Amino acid sequence: MAKKQDAFYFENFVACAEDSCRAAQMLKEALENFEPESLKERLDSIHEVEHSGDAKKHEMLDHLAKEFLPPIEREDIVSLSQNIDNVTDKVEDVMLRIYMNNVQKIEPNALKMTDVVIQCCGAVRDLLVEFKNFKRSKNLKQLVIRINDLEEEADKLFMQSIRGLYTESEDPIRVIAWRDIYIYLERCADACEHVADVVESVIMKNS
């Protein structure tokens, strides 16, 4: 168990991951109950969550600047905090592309990829809940593997979705718009894997 004075960092990691989960769930709700006229409102709501995550990240960095002996190396704290924040950023980027590209109808594969993104975000949260016990945990490795597997699933869906656009659609606007959106959905899963990579690196350094 982390020392009491170290708990701030681990709790902050989890809180930021929970923001990612909230943003991903909001994205799913926006796609499932799609109303083009409410896109700006949906985008603003996700941005509020992203802004909340930014505030937590800055709070952590301010705390770290005054810390004499953090629980893990400073550069790892900074890297992990930034990578968790990137997950929420990428989810917001998806909603932003849907808004900017003036999407009027949601592609079925986008819903499938969003479900995988939600699972990825949840797995990252679970990973970070366990992370406070990183020196003794027997579960972290399996949680990292889970995130890697989900990222591979997102990659497969991404390839299928892009191929489907080019083989089934004769509308170039649809192809351009959805290619852009699929790229950002896949980047959400990549961002989750990057969090897992940092956690795995910390474990290796301290084993």
For residue 194, the domain's CATH number is: 1.20.58.220
Query: In the chain, pLDDT over 90 holds for what percent of residues?
Result: 86
User: Which pLDDT score, from 0 to 100, does residue 5 have?
Assistant: 67
- 76-110 pLDDT per residue, tens: 999 999 999 999 999 999 999 999 999 999 999 99
Sign of the torsion formed by the C-alpha atoms of 28, 34, 36 and 40 = negative
How many domains does the structure of the chain reveal? Answer: 1
The residue among 81, 204, 206 whose CA lies nearest residue 141 is 204
102 φψ region: left (φ > 0), alpha (ψ -120 to 50), beta (else): left
Q: What pLDDT digit, counting tens, does each position of 114-137 carry?
A: 999 999 999 999 999 999 988 888
Number of H helices, E strands in the chain: 6, 0
Any long-range contacts for 137-143 (C-beta under 8 Å, 24+ apart)?
140/199, 140/203, 141/203, 143/196
Confidence tier at 205 by pLDDT (50, 70, 90): confident
Q: Which two tokens stand for residue 116?
A: 């995988």
Task: State the helix-helix crossing angle for 7-32 and 74-100, rounded to 10 degrees.
Answer: 10
- Cα–Cα distance between 123 and 192 in angstroms, integer? 9
Q: What is the pLDDT of residues 90-99, one digit of tens each?
A: 999 999 999 9
Query: What is the structure's pLDDT at 123?
Result: 98
Domain that holds residue 164: 4-205
Least confident residue range of 18-27, 126-135, 191-200? 126-135
Asked if 109 contacts 164 with a C-beta cutoff of 8 angstroms, the reply is: yes
